[in-house]
Amino acid sequence: MEGTANSMSEYLSVLIFIFVGIGSVLFTFFLSRLIRPHNPYKEKSIPYECAELPIGDSWFKFNNRFYIFALMFVIFDVEVVFLFPWAVAFGELGLFALVEMIIFILILFFGLFYAWRKGALKWV
Amino acid sequence: MEFAFPEYNLRLMAPEIFLFLWALLIIAYDVLTKRKSETTAGYLALAGLMITGLILGFTGTGHGFGNMFVSDTAAKFFKIIFLGSAFMAIGSSFGIMREKIVNHRGEFYGLILFSTVGMMFLSSSNELLSLYIGLELTTIPLFVLAAFFKDDKLSVEAGIKYFIVGAFSSALLLYGISFLYGLSGTTDLVQMKINIAITHLTFQNIGVILILAIVLVVAGIGFKLSLPPFHQWVPDVYQGSPTPVAAFLSVGSKAAGLIAFAKIFVNGLFAFHHPDMAPNDWGRLVALLAVAAMILGNTVAIRQTNIKRMLGYSSIAQVGYIMIGIVAMNALGMAAMGFYIFAYMFANMGAFAAVAIVEDKTGSCEISTYSGLARTSPLLSATFAVFLLSLAGIPPLAGFMAKFYIFAAGIQAAQHDPGLYWMYWLVGIALLTTVFAIYYYANIIKQMYFAKEPSPHKVTYNFPALTVLLIGLAGLFVFGIYPEPVLHFASGIASSFGIIP
């Protein structure tokens, strides 16, 4: 347990890192505020500055169909996140990892199959 | 870099793998056949649980996945309880399947099986993180199951309440686990036990962080176990959720919390039970919560008019009794804890099955519905009375033997160790509150048998629900008269946790 002091200083560096991280963002904002020109007008503050004219407010109720699609997207998005470390370590892990990952993907595909059969992929 | 494969020992995980695939199969079956049959999915689920039980019987003991997955007596004993409670919950769900849940039969059974898989992983985990994941896999399907009557306000409220409380308690538990990891530098429970003990011996005092860890983990698992003051969600959730789900929550989920508690405290914080370790001892803290559970559960249950709320408070009280076995921290205590939850499974699942049968017929869970039921439905009333008497702890039934062993373990701990003299008080309060318990259990029996008017309802049984009633009845009588084999099996729990008899 002689490493106690050491491990504390390791956490201290994390703390410093957090402060430096927040500080650098604030500093950049402050710096850009100093040197940029400040001239807002109506056309500049609409969402699509170039061509598209917005219709109505952006704060309205979205169709909750989007929710299901977003959910399905997140599932496969997270799957890819898991695939990356697997791909990096694949050389050392070999065949067993391949089988494991296939099982993982098959389970997720079962979810897709389920959603498809339930009609969640149809836009009503 | 040399990469060493851990010893996987996949065969130890065979029951879990099978049950998981079976749950997927049930969901797929239900979706593919467009839910034509109202009972097939249920029978499939029952068959799957039975096959899993068989596989569990053939699975040996050992370690797998680099010591993260362990199959020992404690794990196997609790897996039997999880499978049994899932079996009885599904068995009593055929009534609501026919009437209320028309669209999501496969999902209902699939989620119960997923939750069971989570409990089985939990009871096999030998390490804090896999334990946490097991607990999450147990509770997340239960959130959905509690809110399964989507159009029923109470059910949705139950689901949301359970979700918020469950998420909050998981966060507390995880926070506590992170402190334990920080103190010991490992998530392996046995290694943690050694490391924390070494730290304590080296510095003579481990500091306040361990208290924080103990309090957070007690709170986190206390929510799942419904130990006061973390019990407020219980009556509302039990009342709102479908009756078989409430039954599963009261037995399966509680047994899961119990094994998680035992793993972290009895095994991981083995040395910190005794008051000599003050202020880093958890024994007195848990004993205090157990006293609160017994007093609060038993007294508040008296005032309830809804039978599911009453059974909810009674289950709070029952956890208080079980905790005496854990606080005793001796071989008999562990065996008694196992036997208690085993007997409790038969009695409570049976009682909820009876409630479900009455609810299917009358649509009501009020205690007044049971008035005069003995004249029109003698079989149901008799079995229900037996379940309630076993919960109260009346002699020839298993509930009595369970309470007897628990109290014996408490007394034994107090006799062997002068530092644990307060165990006498604990057992004394337990005995006293048992008397309250008999009052409100007997009150229902009085309603059923001694009402002047016969009940206007005559219940009808479906085959699986009747089987559940008979299983409960048989279990209570057989293991009440002849508890030795179960007790013998349960005595292996102690050695799984490193307690030498």
Task: Compute the mean pLDDT over every residue in chain B, rounded to the nearest whole number.
Answer: 90
* pLDDT tens digits in sequence order for chain A, 124 residues long: 444 555 566 788 889 999 999 999 999 999 998 888 888 887 777 766 666 776 777 777 777 778 888 888 888 888 889 888 888 888 887 788 888 889 999 998 898 888 888 887 787 6
Counted across chains A and B, CB pairs separated by less than 8 A come out at: 18
Beta carbons of B139 and B166 less than 8 angstroms apart: yes
| Alpha carbons B192 and B206: distance in angstroms, whole number | 14
**Which residue among B1, B24, B31 places its CB closest to the CB of A118?**
B31
- pLDDT grade, residue B4 (50/70/90)? low
Could you read off the pLDDT of B208-260 as tens digits, one per residue? 888 899 999 999 999 999 998 899 999 999 999 999 999 999 999 999 999 99
Q: Which residues, numbered 66 to 95 in chain A, qualify as contacts with chain B under a Cβ-Cβ cut-off of 8 Å?
A: 92-93
- Phi, psi dihedrals of residue B174, rounded to the nearest 5°: -65, -40
Task: Tell me how far CA of residue B187 lies from CA of B175, B184, B191, B205, in angstroms.
Answer: 13, 8, 8, 21
Is the pLDDT confidence value at B1 over 60?
A: no
**Which residue among A93, A96, A117 places its CB closest to the CB of B31?**
A117
Task: Tell me how far CA of residue B496 lies from CA of B14, B57, B72, B193, in angstroms.
Answer: 20, 18, 6, 14
Q: Is A1 part of the contact surface with chain B (CB cutoff 8 Å)?
A: yes
Residue A63 CA, chain-centre distance (Å), reads 22
Considering the segment(s) A4-117 as one domain, its CATH architecture is Up-down Bundle (1.20)
Domain boundaries, chain A: 4-117
Take residue B323 and report the two structure tokens written for it.
Answer: 């905790």
| Alpha carbons B177 and B187: distance in angstroms, whole number | 8
Per-residue pLDDT, averaged over B345-365, amounts to: 92
| Alpha carbons B233 and B298: distance in angstroms, whole number | 16
Q: Is B470 part of the contact surface with chain A (CB cutoff 8 Å)?
A: no
Whether A114 and B3 lie within 8 Å, measured CB to CB: no
Helical H segments across A36-122, by residue range: 65-93, 95-117
Domain boundaries, chain B: 10-273, 282-501
User: How many helical (H) and strand (E) elements, i.e. helices and strands, does chain B have?
Assistant: 21, 2
